[in-house]
Amino acid sequence: MQRPVFAVCFLLLSSVLFSTAASAERIKDITTIAGVRSNQLIGYGLVVGLDGSGDKAPFTTQTFRNMMAEFGITLPSGTDPKLKNVAAVSVTAELPPFAKPGQRVDVTVSSLGNAKSLRGGSLLFTPLKGADGNIYAVAQGNLVVGGFGAEGNDGSKITVNVPSVGRIPNGASVEQTVPSNFGRGDSLVFNLDQPDFTTANAMVQKINSLMGPGTAEALDATSVRVSAPRDTSQRVSYLSIIENMEIETGQDRAKVIINSRTGTIVMGQNVKIDPVAVTHGNLVVTITEDFQVSQPNTLAAGDTVVVPQTNINIDNGGDNRMFKFGPGVSLDNIVKAVNDVGVAPGDLMAILEAMKQAGALKAELIVI
């Protein structure tokens, strides 16, 4: 009896969802469903067919011997195959949720040894394993390498991008499906990408207002549990409705992000400042060194020498300006005042750090 009920809900709510405010965020854009995620795969293999740019690592030779033994070919003991066109590589891929056997995924191939380039190479059959040690896909195919390099006889060389890493689009075939708890239980849990009590509460209010009281409940600032039908087909339609609902998200806490390496400063819209006066000196110390020749008189004994003369000049700018912030100053006022003074990014970092120490900056100061 559940199927007609959810079908009616789908028809009724579709018209409601299209009329929501365009400035709101869709639930699908700010959350993920617990248990519905991708899985990382990794494998070890060989790339062959290189133009003399392979590696000389001992594990490459060992792997080559093992592979040849699988085909019934045994290399004599002590024989060096001198592999110039073979490279040992790691193969990685990301298995999407609900991927089914026979579907294809992209793979990334990276050199493990000292191979100079993987350009023109082909990856041999490579099983890809998950964290549990089971094989979920197999990879094979020709590499697409974006980088290249050239080297002269005199040792000069040039390299563009990274030629030791390549990609194989649709290079792996899925062999088995990763178990999922999507169809189990009477509820699903939505996890917010950015934990926020206000956003979690708004999500609960929105779902309950459209789907009925008690449908959703907030577990904490990150997770919201939503009741869902057991039937898989109904559950898919049901989640399609919920994930397209739009809600007003809560504003993040006030932050000032400072990148000390690049001089980048980013201030959030909720940054406020208590009354404070700021002045920042512009001390410039200039040191110059001149060389003068000291030459004795014509009849005097002695040698001609060069004597260094050091000059130190200190300039404090002479135009130190002070600016004052009133109570509850907004981001616009801060930016305007800083631009009027004309301080450099490095000076602004020092000012913000001093204001935080003084307790005037009402924001979290993060230095990266």
31: region left, alpha or beta (phi > 0 left; psi from -120 to 50 alpha)? beta
Q: What is the mean pLDDT of residues 288-302?
A: 64
How far is the first Cα of the chain from the last one, in angstroms, to the nearest whole number? 56
Distance separating alpha carbons of residues 336 and 77, to the nearest angstrom = 77
pLDDT 10s digits, 176-211? 998 888 888 889 999 999 898 999 999 999 999 999
Q: What is the mean pLDDT of residues 235-249?
A: 91
Residue 8's pLDDT is 35
Question: Which tokens is 351 given?
Answer: 């000012």
Domains and CATH numbers, the chain: 2-36+181-247 (3.30.1360), 39-174 (no CATH), 255-367 (no CATH)
Q: Band the pLDDT of 24: cuts 50, 70, 90.
A: confident
Which pTM value belongs to this model? 0.66
Helix, strand, coil shares, percent, the chain, to 5? 25, 35, 40
Q: What is the mean pLDDT of residues 55-62?
A: 84
Q: Which residue has the higher pLDDT, 333 or 112?
A: 112
Q: Band the pLDDT of 169: cuts 50, 70, 90.
A: very high
pLDDT at 256 over 60: yes
Task: Yes or no: say if 262 and 255 are a contact pair by the CB < 8 Å rule.
Answer: no
Run of H or E residues at 150: strand 148-151
Angle at 360 between CA 359 and CA 363, to 5 degrees: 85
Give Cα 38 distance to the centre of its chain.
16
182 closest CA partner among 134, 233, 148: 233
Distance separating alpha carbons of residues 283 and 285, to the nearest angstrom = 7
Distance separating alpha carbons of residues 268 and 26, to the nearest angstrom = 22
Distance separating alpha carbons of residues 93 and 39, to the nearest angstrom = 9
DSSP letter for each residue of 176-229: SPPP--TTSSSEEEEEESS--HHHHHHHHHHHHHHH-TTSEEE-SSSEEEEE--
